A = this chain, B = another copy of it.
Amino acid sequence: MGIEIERKFLVRGDGWRQAARAPLPMRQGYLAAGGPKEPSVRIRIAGAAALLTVKGPGGKVRAEFEYAIPVADAEAMLALSPFATLAKTRWEVAFAGHLWTVDEFAAPASLAGLVLAEVELDSEEVDPDLPDWLGAEVTEDPRYSNAALVAALRPGQGPG
């Protein structure tokens, strides 16, 4: 078991692109989309690796359990998911001593063009300098979890 401490922001403009490196295409889907009080179960395929990840509810601080699984299992479980599979490219952007990840969404179509930035922190007390291409912070806004983004596309589910 681990604890993930993370802040998340909207991104405005393309200022981040000049420092972006190591693009990693990812596809991911959910077996449970979670919610304000419920855990999510994510299947992710990133390059040649696949992960099954359970995250507890929460915003900045969440329980996280992550297991490497065979890519073939991940593909089969994505096919079982009741939610849309999400595709995005993850970029790394170093800024003021922290490594930011910028996710550029490609699919499903309704999310194409969305860009979100995250930074993982070693403790809740760490207060990173914020690059000027960040928009509003959405760390505690449950609508911007990737799980909620795909759950919202499903009629009758998600934060709407």
Contacts and interface: CB of A to CB of B under 8 A. Distances in A.
Nearest to A33: B32
A73 interface: yes
Interface string A28-72: 000110000111010000000000101011000001010101101
A81 interface: yes
A81 B54 CA distance: 11
A67 B69 contact: yes
B65 A73 contact: yes
A84 to B, nearest CB: 14
Contacts of A114: none
Contact of A77 (B39, B57, B80, B81): B39
Q: How many residues of A sit at the interface, in one of the four size bands?
A: 20 to 34
A30 to B, nearest CB: 9
A82 interface: yes
A54 B39 contact: no
A1 interface: yes
Contact of A63 (B54, B63, B80, B81): B80
A81 B1 contact: no
Given A39-B77, A39-B81, A65-B77, 6 more contacts: A31-B32, A31-B54, A32-B41, A38-B82, A52-B52, A63-B80
